[in-house]
Amino acid sequence: MKETNQVFATTNRLTLRRFHVSDIESFHLYRADPEVAKFQSWQDYQYHEAEAFVKNQSTHHPDLPGTWFQFAIALTETNQLIGDCALHTLLDEPRIVEIGFTLSKDHQGKGYASEAVHGLLHYIFKTLGKHKVIAFSDVRNDKSIALLERVGMRREGHLMQNYMCKGQWVDEYQYAILKSEVHRRDGSADSIT
């Protein structure tokens, strides 16, 4: 397996880059944190799962309809992995993509997730030329909802019992933003490589 150092977007403090095998330990640490996993599909995340995930992502390609691509979020200064954000190109309508995001607990509350999502939106609209970005959030996930609204996404729907989370049906909000609605603002992507 050949790894590349591909960079997809940069922001003031962050680089959205391809995952590397050297990220496995940090990735596993935050995915295994029960607080980080609270509103996510996984629980009790194992090291071997992190290993398989990172190895798969390190050679996967973004924008393949019907698949998710995970971007590593790294501090530009140190290249340290602090979280990830993801892009799901819809199979039936590839001009619409879904996004997701996760930060390690130590790096939350510093504006890094908003900054990374601004960079991701820039990549999706400017580089990939997509029409619309959507995201789903568990209605109880206040931090995720705040982030989606902070980056300018609009609540488009309340989907009843739409997702099975840890043995329980949960409601989700659907958020969206159109290409025509995106404005550049502080902290958005400075460059795309």
Ligand X SMILES: CC(C)(COP(=O)(O)OP(=O)(O)OC[C@H]1O[C@@H](n2cnc3c(N)ncnc32)[C@H](O)[C@@H]1OP(=O)(O)O)[C@@H](O)C(=O)NCCC(=O)NCCS
Question: Considering the complex, what minimum distance in angstroms separates the CB of residue 1 from ligand X?
Answer: 27
Question: Considering the complex, what minimum distance in angstroms separates the CB of residue 103 from ligand X?
Answer: 4
Question: Considering the complex, what minimum distance in angstroms separates the CB of residue 85 from ligand X?
Answer: 8
Q: Is the Cβ of residue 58 or residue 144 nearer to ligand X in the bound state?
A: 144
| Residue whose beta carbon is closest to ligand X | 111
Q: Is the Cβ of residue 45 or residue 112 nearer to ligand X in the bound state?
A: 112
Q: Is the Cβ of residue 48 or residue 110 nearer to ligand X in the bound state?
A: 110
| Beta bridge partner(s), residue 86 | 70, 100
Question: Considering the complex, what minimum distance in angstroms separates the CB of residue 4 from ligand X?
Answer: 26
Q: Is the Cβ of residue 8 or residue 101 nearer to ligand X in the bound state?
A: 101
Contact 160/171 with Cβ under 8 angstroms? yes
Q: For strands 132-138 and 96-103, give the pairing.
A: parallel
The site for ligand X (CB under 6 A) is made up of 36, 39-40, 100-103, 108-114, 141, 143-144, 147, 150
Question: Considering the complex, what minimum distance in angstroms separates the CB of residue 2 from ligand X?
Answer: 30
> What are the C-alpha distances in Å from 152 to residues 10, 22, 26, 56, 66?
19, 33, 30, 31, 25
Q: Is the Cβ of residue 59 or residue 67 nearer to ligand X in the bound state?
A: 67
